[in-house]
Amino acid sequence: MKKKLIALLIILAIFIPTYFAIVYYISAQNAPVSERTIEKLTLTALDGNEFVFGKDTKESKDVIGFFVEMNDTSKQVPDLPDQLKKIKCYKAVYRSYNKDKVYRYYFTTNPNEAYYVDSKNKTYSIPAEKAVEFLSMKYSESTYEASVEPEL
């Protein structure tokens, strides 16, 4: 009986790291994006241009930090307004823990009408000051109709 108990304890002890790994994996997969864990952010503008931000330059780190802060300061709302459901959106793909999480950002020229939908399909209202800050970035040029090059 004593040998069986010792064998059981040894087997359980061998699998302790596995239990920790499973708990860590599950918590990482369900965790919201955070500046610390983001490996890469890919932003696709309304015109299809892609901007890739890693942790290699200060500008990239600042953009990632801005998006995380914008997400953190946004308030959850029940649904995306109907007029925004019909417009194109910015697509941000956050690479974190070797998994991609896709967020959709809806901006208009009115900073009070800025929203995003996260990877779990929850909708958030973006504060006007954060919308203004994004709309003043070079990455938001495609929001404005005048930014489109004319065709001859």
Q: What pTM was estimated for this model as a whole? A: 0.79
Give the per-residue pLDDT at 4: 86
What average pLDDT does this structure show over 91-119?
Answer: 92
Q: How confident is the model at residue 51 (pLDDT cuts 50, 70, 90)?
A: very high
Q: Taking residues 4-28, what's their average pLDDT?
A: 81
The total of other beta-carbon atoms located within 10 Å of residue 13's CB is 9
Does 114 score more than 90 pLDDT? yes
135: Cβ contacts below 8 Å, ≥ 6 apart: 107, 109, 111, 143
Q: Do 75 and 131 meet the contact criterion of CB atoms below 8 Å apart?
A: no
CB 110 within 8 A of CB 84: no
> What string of DSSP letters covers 74-105?
-EEESS--HHHHTS--EEEEEEETTEEEEEEE
Nearest one of 44, 74, 73, 38 to 56, comparing CA atoms:
38
- How does pLDDT run across 131-141, given as a tens digit for each residue? 999 999 999 88
- pLDDT for 137 equals 92
